[in-house]
Amino acid sequence: MTNASRVAVVTGGARGLGRAISLRLAEDGIDVSVWDLDEAGALETANLVSECGVRSIACGLDCSSARAIAAAAERTRNELGPVGVLVNNAALSPFCKFEELTEEAWDSLMAVNLKGPFLCTQAIITDMRAAGWGRIINIASSSAQTGASNMAHYGASKGGILGLTKCLALEYATTGITVNAVPPNFIDTEGLQNAGIDIEAFARTTPMQRTGQPRNIAAAVAFLASEDADYITGHTLGVNGGRYCN
């Protein structure tokens, strides 16, 4: 399958990692459907993607809603074509002390971070099965590998993503579909800037003593979406500045 015939869906594409990933895939000649609850932000990303010379649309939706996902998938097929690349990036990442964590907060985060990728993958994998080719890249987190204080629900959800990645990789290993995960660590995005933490002080505690950039994650995703990665599946490609060494 050539890049010219590829269509990607990037969830959580309105800003940050999702926007960087969308733009990098566009640079590689891949059409991009940008999915996000923030429809205005998704449209802004889609316009930037179009400037790269490929087609792009924006879909405003809740990535924890099966009905909304089905509608976005159908619109993407109708306007761009069958989907060959899925990047499950949309996620919530709040801080909360464990004893203050409510059942409602736990459930709402799991709905987006873990159920969302399950629903998006189910809605799109039929396209990949029909083509005999597909790339699923799940954005996990180094917090699931090392643990993180005040992020029990987030770390648990991303641990689930790592498990889901491995299971799907094995289930679809003979179909031409690969499934891999990219767990970032401490990437300089709008979310990090608004997290209310001392970024420079925390960065000094990491092996590289600096933050990563969205382009670092985007490059890893682009590689896993490429033909060069056709013999890589079930893999966790850490982009973490040395925080967790495989």
Token pair for 13 = 């594409």
Mean pLDDT, all residues of the chain: 92
Q: Is the pTM of this model over 0.75?
A: yes
| Sheet-wide strand order for 56-60 | 56-60, 31-36, 7-11, 85-88, 134-139, 177-182
Kindly indicate the confidence band of residue 243, based on its pLDDT and cuts at 50, 70 and 90. confident
Tens digit of pLDDT for each residue in 131-152? 999 999 999 987 778 888 888 9
Q: With 80 as the cut, is the pLDDT of residue 211 above it?
A: no
Q: Are 103 and 190 in contact (CB under 8 A)?
A: no
The average pLDDT across 73-79 equals 98
In this predicted structure, the answer to whether residue 193 has a pLDDT above a threshold of 80 is no
Burial class, 13, CB count within 10 angstroms (exposed 0-12 / middle 13-18 / buried 19+): buried
Tokens of 97: 């002390």
The rounded distance, in Å, linking the Cα atoms of 174 and 181 is 19
Of 246 and 58, more confident: 58
Determine the pLDDT at residue 200. 76
pLDDT tens track for 93-103 = 888 999 999 99
Residue 58: phi and psi, rounded to 5, are -120, 130
Confidence at residue 187, expressed as pLDDT on a 0 to 100 scale: 75
Q: What is the pLDDT of residue 151?
A: 83
Predicted confidence (pLDDT) at residue 213 exceeds the cutoff of 60: yes
Cα(169)–Cα(165) distance, integer angstroms: 6
Band (246; pLDDT cuts 50, 70, 90): confident
Residues designated as active site: 154
Number of other CB atoms surrounding residue 149 within 10 Å? 10
